[in-house]
Amino acid sequence: QKNGIEWSAIPKASPQQNAIIERFNRTYREDVLDANIVFSIEHAQQLTDAWLIEYNTVREHEALGYKTPASYAA
């Protein structure tokens, strides 16, 4: 509100309205949650932390011309 931005909610899992985050959520679900047996919230956090490092440094992204974020930023 301070900056004249109005907050509004969108329906859960609505790729037509929020495609970028919904695609990220799908990738996370497939790579982490569907690919592993999660034993606890702590284990889920460990898997997520490791995946985020890979996702943000070594994984090639189609949106970046199949470059890694590190090579795209260079």
Domain ranges of the chain: 19-73
Contact 32, 43 (CB under 8 A): no
Rounded to an integer, what distance in angstroms lies between the CA atom of residue 58 and that of residue 45? Answer: 19
Query: What is residue 59's DSSP assignment?
Result: S
Give the gyration radius of the chain's Cα atoms. 16
pLDDT, tens digit, for every residue of 11-68? 877 777 888 888 899 999 999 999 999 999 999 999 999 999 999 999 999 989 999 9
Predicted TM-score (pTM) of this structure: 0.73
DSSP 8-45: ----TT-TTT-HHHHHHHHHHIIIIITTS---SHHHHH
